[in-house]
Amino acid sequence: MADFAELVDDRTLVLPPELARRFRRSDRFAVWVEGDTVYLKRITPLPVTEIVESSGPAEPIPDGEIAEEIRRYRRERSPG
């Protein structure tokens, strides 16, 4: 048996109650379309402690590399 979601006037997608109960109000979703199919994927962020532990010590960036990156960015952003 299929359930149906409804797009209401304020562009809110209302999920069927049985499906909506699986999520918390704070959940965030990635949404994309392929053809006539809309995909909705819940995003589960990593705990901050896991991110910090996996990053390891940061290597300093040389000043010249920073300056070159700024110049490249400005060239890309400048009109014509």
pLDDT of residue 68: 92
Q: Note the pLDDT of residue 39.
A: 94
pLDDT for the residue numbered 42: 93
Per-residue pLDDT of the chain (80 residues; tens, 9 = 90+): 678 999 998 899 999 999 999 998 889 999 999 999 999 999 988 787 877 777 767 788 888 999 999 999 898 888 76
What single string gives the DSSP state of each residue in 4-70? --EE-TTSPEEPPHHHHTTS-TT-EEEEEEETTEEEEEEE-PPPHHHHHHHH-PPPPPPHHHHHHHH
**Phi and psi dihedrals of 64, rounded to 5?**
-60, -35
